[in-house]
Chains A and B, each alone.
Chain A
């Protein structure tokens, strides 16, 4: 069975600090996809990134970066120079291979609070 663990329940940082959100996953599949979603106070989950299991290159998008390490089954998310607008709940998710509507297994989420 697939499993996603986000051990950090809540993180508080001061604006401009860097912060890393951890994600560890378990799967028996050799082909899979990993995701990060952001849930701001408005409630709607916003897609941030997708990574497939064959691509271990790190990715950077503005202040966001993602570190995928297959050897440790981790897909960590770093926000550089955090801002108040980054305050949200962040979910890591794992998708099974195609063929069955590709269900997502979510972690329990990490609540990030960025203060001035």
Chain B
């Protein structure tokens, strides 16, 4: 079974802090994704990565950056956290030859 893990289930940070959200998958998937989930808005794509060191902006990249130095790990970075970044963050991965994305359990981030 594909396993996607995220470093924290719950995280509380202060405004202005630099925040790292880590995602690791164990199935050698090339494609990885970061979404945020907000009530009434569904899941929105922040960034995705085709492969190591390859990244592309999604629909709402402002205020975020990403890093993919190793195939199994995809990090989401909030350079200076703000209260409007309080949300559930979901990571996903997939094989480029398939369409199904496999999701991690999510990190609920609160910025105070």
Q: Which residues of A contact B (CB under 8 A)?
A: 4, 6, 9, 33, 35, 37, 42-47, 50, 91, 95, 98, 101-104, 106-109
The number of chain B residues with a CB under 8 A from chain A is: 29
Which residue on chain B has the smallest CB distance to residue A32?
Answer: B99
A-B contact count (CB 8 A): 60
Please report the C-alpha to C-alpha distance between residue A8 and residue B96 in the assembled complex, in whole angstroms: 32
B99→A43 contact, CB < 8 A: no
Which A residues are CB-close (under 8 A) to B40? 9, 108
Residues 25-59 of B contacting A (Cβ, < 8 Å): 31, 33, 35, 40-45, 48-50, 56, 58
Given contacts A47-B102, A106-B43, A108-B40, 12 further A-B contacts (CB under 8 A): A35-B99, A42-B105, A43-B105, A101-B48, A101-B50, A101-B56, A102-B31, A103-B45, A104-B43, A104-B101, A106-B44, A108-B42
Knowing A43-B105, A45-B90 touch, does A101 contact B58 (C-beta < 8 A)?
Answer: no
Distance to closest chain B CB from A38 (angstroms): 11
- 1/0 per position for B50-81, CB-CB distance to A under 8 A? 10000010100000000000000000000000
* CB-CB nearest in chain A for B58: A103
Cβ of A43: which chain B residues have Cβ within 8 Å of it? 9, 88, 105-106, 108
* Across-interface contacts of B102 in A (CB, < 8 A): 47
Identify whether the interface residues of A are mostly helix, strand, loop, or mixed.
loop
Q: Are A33 and B48 in contact (CB under 8 A)?
A: no
A44 and B31 contacting across the interface, CB-CB below 8 Å: no
Residues in A neighbouring B31, C-beta threshold 8 A:
101-102
Residues in A with CB closer than 8 Å to B50 are: 101
Q: Is the CB of B99 within 8 A of A50?
A: yes
Q: Which of B70-112 contact A (CB under 8 A)?
A: 88, 90, 92, 94, 96, 99-106, 108
Q: How far is the CA of A4 from the CA of B102 in the complex (A)?
A: 20
The contact sample of 21 A-B pairs, CB cut-off 8 A, is A4-B42, A33-B99, A37-B103, A43-B105, A43-B106, A44-B103, A45-B90, A45-B92, A45-B103, A47-B102, A50-B99, A50-B100, A98-B99, A101-B49, A101-B50, A103-B45, A103-B48, A104-B43, A106-B44, A108-B40, A109-B42
